[in-house]
Structure formats: C-alpha cells, structure tokens
C-alpha cells in the first residue's frame, strides 16, 4: 500500500485513483459472487471519473455497466464502450427519452405500463423490469405485477431487478425483499432471462450469488460494509502546505473565529477547500496526516484553503498532507473522514468532483 503520493500533481491538492486496486476489488467481488458484474458507474463513477474507471474495468470482462442517466450512457458509447448499459432510473413518460435511449443502444429500466408502451411504440428492444420490493423509490410494486400482464406479454423484458434498502444490515429486510422479488417474478407471464438484485453489501454477504449478474458500486471504489470481504482503498486525497503561521494564545483562526489558540500554536495552511471536495463540515472536526502524524483541522474550512494545527509536528511549506489515505502507520479511510463530518462515504466520494485534479495510477 502506498504511503506517499506517486507524484506531486499540483502545488495545491489532488486526488489519486488507484485503478489497480479498483480492478482487484472487482475481481474479489467476482470471485465472491461467481457471477458477472454490472459495475455501477453512475455519478461519474461515484466521483472518481467514469471513463478511466470503465476503461480499467473493461479488463475484468464485466457483463455491462449500470448508469443513472441517459447522458452517462451516451458518454460511454462515445468512448467506444460496446457492452450492455442499463439506465436504472425512471424516465419522463414521453417518446423523447425513449428515443434517446434507443439511439445510444442503452437498456431502460421500466416499471409502469405507460413507459413500457412508449418503449414498444418507439421501436422496442431489450429492457429490464424495475420491481419495487420495499425501497418505494422506483418501479412497479412487487404485489402489483398483475396490472402489467398485458404489456409484459406484448413486450417481454430481457431482465427484472430490485434494489435492497438495507443490505448492509443483518435485520431480515434483505430476505423479505428477496421473497417479494421471487413472488413478483413468479407472477410475470414469463420468467425473464436475467434477474439481478445485489448491490455491494448484498454481494459481500451472499456467496455465490443466486442471480444472473450483480450490481456493485461503492465496494469497487474502496468502501466496504464489514461483510465477508474487504475492499482495498482506491482513493487518496492530498494537499500541499502553502503557508505556515505561528499564533499567540488568544489568536483566532478562519471565518467566524470558531477556533481560538489556547497556547502558542503553529498552523499549516493547506491548498485545499470545500470547492475541491474537502467538506466545510470538517471544520474543527477533521484530521489530516502530515509526516506520519495526525493534525486536526483548526477553524472553518474555506473555499480554497484549510488550516490544521501542526504544533509539535515537523512541517514545512511544500510538505504534503494526506486527507484520505495512508502516511506511515497512520491511515484515514473514506469512512472515517465521512464519520468526522456526518456524511455517508457515498456522499463524500461523489462530492470529490469539483476542482481537485485526478491522477490515475
């Protein structure tokens, strides 16, 4: 595991994405599920960069990819990705999105009679039935499949799927949703050739997968849920020390003066702020690593700069601080940084998309 950045990408801050670790995480999931993957690469691959991520994952021979929007699917087609691409969110019930989906040779996830008819009328083709088994977000209710009997007979789907709301919890909800999914599939006029349900946490808990493909997201990007397998970290976030200040007791730091020096204090200013994805809510709560030591964030994180307390830590202008990653014996995981500012790892990663450049390893 890297303890230092591979290169100094800028004199401010940057994000390293370890594509080797990403590929190893994908292979670990494949070995666990013993089924092909449909990596979820929505939201710019959770903020890591959709195209580099997909190009790396191509080497693992996935079944195809899952995206949330038509635009994301179109981008993959423009990049010469020819595998199946499932657009998992519902579309506006007009011909326009359905035509766009067909033009890009994408697969829609449909869950109501009107959309299925529109898909047929605009030319038909492969589609997957979205079945809601308890999330109450998208798709046909598991106990209402009968209302689609006519359209399902006229235009049978190539697949059917559902999504778990709490697969990271061992509370019986996944089993209940699975039973509802099985009942719903049994109520279809014909069994579709492909069935899928599992996100990362569900794959971690179930081996081998009983379904046709699995749909991992966050595990690929280095965040596990404490299941049977652990992912390798994929994201490392670094920032440079751009200034050093010595404070006297009573001096305050940053906007609203929320941090007051209680003793002679040395502060390092880092070239990173919330416009780079280092969240404002980490003010007075986050920690960074400098020369193998933990340095707490002092005061409010500003748009472009963040101050950390380096009293007693060897630190000079130009040193590199690790915001996520490893430095010597110390490590900061995406989960730990998220916990420090009450954000889920998903939210933290998808917000890393602003100004900080990405360096692909």
Ligand X SMILES: *Cc1c(COP(=O)(O)O)cnc(C)c1O
Please, what is the minimum distance in Å from the beta carbon of residue 219 to ligand X?
Answer: 6
42 in active site: yes
Please, what is the minimum distance in Å from the beta carbon of residue 251 to ligand X?
Answer: 44
Mark 159-192 as b/e (b = at least 16 C-beta within 10 Å).
bbbbbbeebbeeeeebeebbebbbebbebbeeeb
Would you say 43 or 268 has its CB closer to ligand X?
43
Residue with tokens 């990408």: 9
Out of 12, 35, 215, 353, name the contact with ligand X by CB under 6 A. 215
Please, what is the minimum distance in Å from the beta carbon of residue 64 to ligand X?
Answer: 13
d(CA 142, CA 144): 6
Q: Is residue 111 a contact point for ligand X (CB under 6 A)?
A: no
The one catalytic residue in 42, 65, 221, 274 is: 42
Q: Is residue 32 a contact point for ligand X (CB under 6 A)?
A: no
Tokens of 162: 């559902």
Least Cα distance to 39 among 3, 2, 102, 86 occurs for 86
Alpha carbon 320 to its chain centroid, in Å, reads 26
- Find the residue with minimal CB distance to ligand X: 217
> Alpha-carbon torsion 41, 42, 43, 46, what sign?
negative
Judge whether 6 and 359 are in contact, CB under 8 Å: yes
The one catalytic residue in 78, 96, 228, 255 is: 255
Q: Is residue 199 a contact point for ligand X (CB under 6 A)?
A: yes
Please, what is the minimum distance in Å from the beta carbon of residue 355 to ligand X?
Answer: 25
Judge whether 236 and 333 are in contact, CB under 8 Å: no
Least Cα distance to 290 among 15, 10, 5, 18 occurs for 5
Q: Mark the segment that binds ligand X (CB under 6 A) among 3-11, 214-222, 252-260, 310-318.
A: 214-222
Please, what is the minimum distance in Å from the beta carbon of residue 220 to ligand X?
Answer: 8
Out of 47, 216, 233, 299, name the contact with ligand X by CB under 6 A. 216
Out of 111, 217, 224, 286, name the contact with ligand X by CB under 6 A. 217
Q: Is residue 88 a contact point for ligand X (CB under 6 A)?
A: yes
Site for ligand X in 142-171 (CB under 6 A): 163
Q: Is residue 236 a contact point for ligand X (CB under 6 A)?
A: no
For 176, phi then psi, to 5°, come to -65, -45
- Which active-site residues does the annotation give? 42, 255
Binding-site ranges for ligand X (CB under 6 A): 40, 88, 163, 199-200, 215-219
């Amino acid at each position: 595991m890297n303890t230092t950045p591979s290169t100094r990408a800028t004199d401010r801050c940057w994000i390293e994405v370890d594509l080797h670790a990403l590929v190893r995480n994908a292979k670990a999931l494949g070995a666990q599920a013993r089924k092909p993957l449909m990596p979820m690469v929505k939201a710019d691959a959770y903020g890591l960069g959709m195209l580099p991520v997909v190009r790396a994952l191509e080497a693992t021979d996935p079944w195809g990819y899952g995206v949330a929007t038509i635009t994301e699917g179109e981008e993959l087609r423009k990049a010469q990705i020819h595998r199946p691409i499932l657009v998992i969110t519902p579309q506006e019930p007009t011909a326009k999105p359905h035509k766009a989906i067909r033009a890009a040779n994408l697969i829609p996830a449909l869950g109501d009679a009107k959309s299925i008819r529109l898909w047929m009328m605009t030319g038909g083709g492969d589609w997957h039935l979205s079945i809601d088994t308890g999330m109450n977000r998208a798709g046909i209710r598991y106990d209402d499949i009968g209302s689609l009997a006519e359209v399902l007979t006229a235009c049978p789907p190539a697949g059917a799927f559902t999504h778990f709301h709490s697969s990271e919890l061992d509370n019986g909800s996944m089993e209940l949703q699975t039973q509802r999914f099985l009942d719903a599939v049994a109520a279809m006029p014909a069994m579709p050739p492909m069935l899928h349900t599992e996100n990362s946490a569900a794959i971690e808990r179930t081996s081998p997968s009983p379904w046709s493909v699995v749909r991992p997201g966050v595990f690929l990007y280095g965040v596990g849920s404490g299941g049977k397998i652990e992912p390798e970290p994929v994201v490392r976030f670094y920032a440079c020390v751009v200034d050093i200040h010595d404070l006297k007791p009573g001096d305050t730091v940053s906007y609203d003066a929320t941090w007051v020096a209680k003793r002679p204090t040395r502060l390092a200013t880092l070239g990173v702020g919330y416009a780079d994805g280092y969240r404002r809510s980490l003010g007075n709560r986050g920690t960074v690593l400098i020369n193998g030591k933990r340095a707490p964030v002092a005061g409010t994180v500003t748009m472009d700069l963040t101050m950390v307390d380096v009293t007693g830590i060897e630190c000079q202008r130009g040193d590199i601080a690790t915001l996520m990653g490893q430095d010597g014996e110390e490590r900061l995981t995406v989960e730990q940084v998220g916990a420090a500012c009450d954000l889920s790892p998903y939210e933290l990663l998808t917000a890393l998309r602003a100004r900080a450049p990405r360096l692909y390893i």
